[in-house]
Structure 1
Amino acid sequence: MKDLTDIPALMQDIGARAKAAAAELAFAPAEAKQKALEAAAEAVWSRRAEIIAANGKDMEYGTDKGLSKAMLDRLMLDEARIQGIVDGLRAVAAQEDPIGAVMDAWDMPSGLHIERVRTPLGVIGVIYESRPNVTADAGALCLKAGNAVILRGGSESFHSSGAIHACLVEGVKAAGLPEDAIQRVPTRDRAAVKEMLTMTDFIDVIVPRGGKGLVGLVQREARVPVFAHLEGIVHIYVDKDADPVKALKVVMNAKTRRTGICGSAECLLIHRGVLDTIGQGLIKALLDAGVEVRGDETLQAIAGVTAAEESDWGHEYLDMIIAAKVVDDIDAAIAHINRYSSSHTDCILTEDDAAAARFFQRLDSAILMRNASTQFADGGEFGMGAEIGIATGKMHARGPVGAMQLTSFKYQVTGDGTVRS
């Protein structure tokens, strides 16, 4: 039995075992990794009642902590969501193995043949908050890319994550891979997070997935490289050439489908030229759906709209709340987004190709969309099977982080007694 009170010793042990597992996973056969994920998927489904029971404890804990309705929705697991976890595991299992793939190859006049080949990153530490499905997504993607992973879920999802993690370990063991390939920090003690951030001898990269507080802490204190998954301050701009039917469908889905995910729309920008023809209808539809609309001075003329404060611009609500503003033209929309965006996902609704091209060219968010709900900002919807997060930085990985993004590369150079003159 591990001593869960000596956090430094606990984390050093987990780190050492992860590093040893990573050394084996680096050359593990693609078939073994696929088998492990398929077996894990079967285990999740067969143990779904156990997982739902564990989630019930977490829901009770979250309710007692006063989590918002949207946060409880992120935490909740039912049979349909467990089916989604199973589907994600199977999708990742079925993907082509990225390790060993030749990214590029060329011959030099010196006689050298050079190949750039995909290789694992090593050990990945994933620190996340309330969504228990991240346990499965992160474990699967790291394993597929030949990495060992250390999972540190949030206190709210402690029991759910534990039950899902047990299924992942069952799959790894069934495939004959090292059991330490997927480890979970078995304590709610926040000191474990602090330890992970400084474990440069064992961890190659940290992936934080959560709110601004968590990501800020990691970015400030980590000595290990970080793939930051920053908050989703998602904008939708309704252009003067927007189609009213498409606009209504997209805006309502982007805001109300699931408010607690990072792709949920948080700010609506409306071109002044379509305020009367499209804009007012959008605002009224949001209000009728139970969304609190915090509008600028122009929009406050619509009954039910409350006054927006400066703090509403650039705010991630993760709730049935949206900020809304009227802009004079596309450049004013771009300027607003550049000022307040978190570089996650931003969308334009327009039938004008030139306007869409300008929007795409002049904004540099990780994901830019046209005439599509921002709720599609998800690795699964991008064909990655699952995602470990949406990286909002610009180094190494950006946007949805799937198995391919969890790799590095090495150069393999072949000669024939070749010497340099």
Structure 2
Amino acid sequence: MNQLAINYASDAKSARFALAQLGSAQKRTLLHKMADQLIAHSDAILESNQQDMVNGRKSGLSNAMLDRLLLNPERIEDMADSVRQIADMPDPVGEKFDHRVLDNGLELTKVRVPIGVVMVIFESRPNVASDAAALCVKSGNASILRGGKESIHSVTAIGRALKHALSEMKLPAQVVTMVEDADRAIMEDLLRMTSSIDLVVPRGGEGLINYVTEHSRIPVVKHDKGLCHVYIDQYADMDMAIRIAVNAKTQRPGVCNAMETLLVHQSIAPAILPLLCKEMTRKKVEIRGCEASIKLCPDAGIVAAKAEDWDTEYLDLIMNLRVVDSLEQAVEHIQQHGTGHSEAIVTENYHAAGLFQKIVDAAAVYVNASTRFTDGGQFGMGAEIGISTQKLHCRGPMGVRELTTTKYIVSGSGQIR
């Protein structure tokens, strides 16, 4: 086993105990210092990011991936603001609930506590490094953060900036560990460190998720791909429906909560599709549609959708379009092709809205709103460590609270069994 991987894991496990001794006020101070250091070292971070961008273009990264990778002064300010928001959120650690006294006099209280050591493996987006580090600090967890090879220089620079704040607070540098080596063998060894690492969160493309899930011996919270749908019901307000669909697809197409497939009820399709396709075309969206949608919009340049298109996460200005016979057929399509991320219905019908929310199985189900809101920052979490599409132990955007577990505090007066 790689000695570097052993050191990363054991050092993080030791550092968690130093972090566990910090109170809420001290963690808040540390996080504000981290935000300040991101700004103070922005020139070095931007210089490192430019190196990654040059390498990314040479290696043929897609425009969507390059957009995720890019940092600029505004995005670094956003990163710092995110850390400050996390700093000022309520601290879940130590929260007491489910208090009761048993018949024998034993007093039971459930208390929220850190998970321990959390490893986050991510691709492309360097801001994940500072978000994940801040969320782990706030929840009392030591973190091991491993970015993809395409962002290695940016992530390393961000990690070095954050460590200045740890030094100011006289805390071990390993409270936040950035894996500065892109060697996959190190990651494989870390995924076997069950005695030191308590949770793994992979955040990236389908290949990364599958790889980590297959190789990890440590519990994994999956951030699966986002194959999100918007369904325009027969009772939808057309102006609202167009606004929502266009926003869900085009506001930022290279992210997991962007819409990939638009479903439209046959009753409203003749009226709304020409308008909607015109707007999507204006936004430079390529449309891959069913036979009915092509007939309704013969001049929209719709390409006939292939079977595999319905299961494709484009992360680009490409979308699928299907006309459906009913709400039930829309739900059936979502259940067959969706990934349990975010699904939306646009309707003015109360029964249709309620039925859709009840039977669609996803982490976030929307009525009359864009799927683009499935985001830790938008949900008031400050940031997210990922968006869980599984059902244990958390689902949807993972914030500070989702990075804690519980234990029972039991107090007695000499009871024996």
Which residue number corresponds to residue 330 of structure 2? 333
The reply on whether 1:158 has 2:155 as its aligned counterpart is no
Counterparts of 1:150 and 1:324, CA distance in 2: 41
CA deviation vs aligned residue, 1:233-276 (integer Å, no higher than 9, x gap): 01110111111111111111111111111111101000111101
CA deviation vs aligned residue, 1:291-343 (integer Å, no higher than 9, x gap): 00000111123221001000011210000100110001110000000001110
Q: Is the contact made by 1:125 and 1:149 (CA closer than 8 Å) also made in structure 2?
A: yes
The reply on whether 1:369 has 2:366 as its aligned counterpart is yes
Gaps of 5+ in 2: none
Instruction: Find 2:20's aligned residue among 22, 26, 38.
Output: 26
Q: Is the contact made by 1:52 and 1:77 (CA closer than 8 Å) also made in structure 2?
A: yes
Q: Which amino acid aligns with 1:16?
A: S
Gaps of 5+ in 1: 1-6
Residue 288 of structure 1: CA displacement? 1.9
Which residue number corresponds to residue 4 of structure 1? none
What SS does the aligned partner of 1:254 have? helix
Instruction: Find 1:233's aligned residue among 227, 237, 240.
Output: 227
Which residue number corresponds to residue 60 of structure 2? 66
Which residue number corresponds to residue 349 of structure 2? 352
CA deviation vs aligned residue, 1:104-147 (integer Å, no higher than 9, x gap): 21111211111000111111111000000000111010111111
CA deviation vs aligned residue, 1:150-185 (integer Å, no higher than 9, x gap): 000011111111111112212222223322100011
What SS does the aligned partner of 2:93 have? coil
Q: Which amino acid aligns with 1:55?
A: N
Counterparts of 2:182 and 2:212, CA distance in 1: 17
Counterparts of 1:164 and 1:232, CA distance in 2: 27
Q: Which amino acid aligns with 1:358?
A: L
Change (3 A) 1:176 1:353: farther
Q: Is the contact made by 1:267 and 1:323 (CA closer than 8 Å) also made in structure 2?
A: yes
State the 4+ residue runs in structure 1 displaced beyond 6 angstroms: none
The CA RMSD measured in Å over matched residues stands at: 1.1
Q: Is the contact made by 1:32 and 1:177 (CA closer than 8 Å) also made in structure 2?
A: no
Q: Is the contact made by 1:26 and 1:119 (CA closer than 8 Å) also made in structure 2?
A: no
CA deviation vs aligned residue, 1:44-83 (integer Å, no higher than 9, x gap): 1122222111111111111111111111111111111111
What SS does the aligned partner of 2:16 have? helix
TM-score (ref. length: structure 2): 0.97
Q: Which amino acid aligns with 2:115?
A: L
Q: Which amino acid aligns with 1:340?
A: H
What SS does the aligned partner of 1:372 have? coil
Q: Which amino acid aligns with 1:181?
A: V
What SS does the aligned partner of 1:313 have? helix
Which residue number corresponds to residue 49 of structure 1? 43
Which residue number corresponds to residue 90 of structure 2? 96
Q: Is the contact made by 1:35 and 1:171 (CA closer than 8 Å) also made in structure 2?
A: no
Q: Which amino acid aligns with 1:345?
A: S
Q: Which amino acid aligns with 1:151?
A: L
**What are the within-5 Å matches in structure 2 for residues 126-165 of structure 1?**
126-165=120-159
TM-score (ref. length: structure 1): 0.96
Counterparts of 2:241 and 2:5, CA distance in 1: 50
**What are the within-5 Å matches in structure 2 for residues 274-313 of structure 1?**
274-301=268-295, 302=297, 303=299, 304-313=301-310
Residue 196 of structure 1: CA displacement? 1.7
The reply on whether 1:195 has 2:192 as its aligned counterpart is no
Q: Is the contact made by 2:6 and 2:190 (CA closer than 8 Å) also made in structure 1?
A: no
Counterparts of 2:37 and 2:158, CA distance in 1: 9
Which residue number corresponds to residue 218 of structure 1? 212
Residue 284 of structure 1: CA displacement? 2.0
Which residue number corresponds to residue 77 of structure 2? 83
Counterparts of 1:213 and 1:252, CA distance in 2: 28
